[in-house]
Chains A and B, each alone.
Chain A
Amino acid sequence: MSDASDADAGGRDADADADTGALADAGSAEPVEPPRRSGRLDSETRQGTPYTESQVIMSTVKVVSPFAFTYGLFVTFHGGGSPGGGFQGGAIMAAVVFMIAFAFGIEATRQWLANTVVVALAVGGTLAFAAIGLIPVALGGAFLQYDLLPLPILDPVKYGMEAVEIVGIAAIVSGVLMGLFFVLARGFNGEDSGPSIGDRDSFTDEDEPDEPDDAESPEPADGVATDGGER
């Protein structure tokens, strides 16, 4: 994990350098290409340099996020008595993480909320739901037959359903949504993602794709292919 984050930091610096170079060249060399966006909607590659630290957004999120998170918890825990439930509450709690990420930077939020937490929520929720369903089966009943749950004092039907909503569905939804957010923010052009088409749309137009062409062009082995490519 630490190695990966170090590599990411280095990669972002390199991307930042390439970014400034591309912007400097864009005016003279390639006037045909559409102008690149300024640093709005920041995500991975642009995260290093132009993350705009807005006092308005940061202080607003600081004020709003505790209330929004409490509301998500309320919707989750109070799903039995009022509209809502685990799905809606989990989505609201994940949206709080999205707000924090937009205010304080996606990369900082990703490091604060480790991958372990996201995976534990998603996997743990699924396993908990399956366990609550399978315990009655082990006791000779049907799947999710709540009245066979071994709860000593509490009403097993009511609190079995609440457990499914809170420990199961809310955890799965919040974990998966946070994971989708982080993995989409990283995108397809990371360093360790193997052969990816993402390299083509990143800012390293001037160094990476040219080198294989220069290395292959002196070789006349596949004449037809290289001619087709160079033409």
Chain B
Amino acid sequence: MTGTITPVVAEVTAIEASLFVFVVLTALATAFARDVLAAVIVFGAYSLGMAALYTFYRAPDVAMTEAAISAGVTTVLLLLTLAKTTRIDHEAAFEAVNYPAAGAAGLLFVGLAITMVDVPAVGSPDAPVWSNPDVTQWYLAETYAVTGVENTVMAVLAAFRGFDTFGEAVVVFAAGIAALIVLRREVFA
């Protein structure tokens, strides 16, 4: 917990590479699946793959959020909403390619891919995170002494940036209120 942490450039292992392929395939399947129920289920698999990927890149807090919220809760809420609709039987499993939309998505992908050249490698010492070690190392080294908790992520969220977290919690609360207002209900029932 204390002391400086030296950056290590990570190499892409076979498991990570297969996870990348899995995530890309499930994302494409989500976009092209003709049946909405199939798209929702494949989207849940995509979120689970992203959660595993976050774990490999040492962001377990983000991975747990992705697995619980995106793979679990969002899938359940989307399925609940789908149960309110009628389901049309499709003979084709996949949507036909909409070429203008595919062209726009391709242009966006190319634009983002150009910026990827300048993104430093994972764990690279040139990354902006390491370019200001006085700040980043201070949080890693002093969190336990200052706050008494070992999880730096939680210390940043609950203490160093606690006011932001209060705003986020109120946003979650407001989301519940907004759902009640939109559905014209006074109770969660």
Contacts and interface: CB of A to CB of B under 8 A. Distances in A.
Interface of A: 4, 34-37, 40-43, 46, 75, 79-85, 87-88, 91-92, 94-95, 98, 102, 110, 115, 118-119, 122-123, 125-126, 129-130, 133, 143-144, 146, 155, 157-158, 161-162, 164-165, 168-169, 172-173, 175-188, 190, 193-194, 196, 201
B188 A36 contact: no
B133 interface: no
Contacts of A123: 173
A13 B76 CA distance: 26
17 contacts: A34-B88, A37-B87, A75-B64, A80-B148, A80-B155, A85-B158, A122-B176, A129-B166, A133-B166, A143-B162, A144-B159, A161-B147, A172-B173, A177-B73, A183-B189, A186-B183, A187-B84
Contacts of A43: 80, 83-84
Main SS class of interface, B:
helix
Interface residues of B, number: 53
A72 to B, nearest CB: 9
Interface of B: 37, 60-61, 63-65, 68-69, 72-73, 76-77, 79-89, 146-151, 153-155, 157-159, 162-163, 165-166, 169-170, 172-173, 175-176, 179-180, 183-185, 187-189
A222 to B, nearest CB: 28
Contacts of A185: 80
Kindly name the residue among A42, A87, A188 whose own CB sees the greatest number of chain B CB atoms within 10 A: A87
A98 B76 contact: yes
Contacts, number: 177
A183 B179 contact: yes
Kindly name the residue among B83, B147, B163 whose own CB sees the greatest number of chain A CB atoms within 10 A: B83
A176 B170 CA distance: 11
Given A35-B89, A129-B166, A181-B76, A110 B189 contact: yes
Contacts of B61: 83-85, 88
B74 to A, nearest CB: 10
Contact of B175 (A75, A164, A176): A176
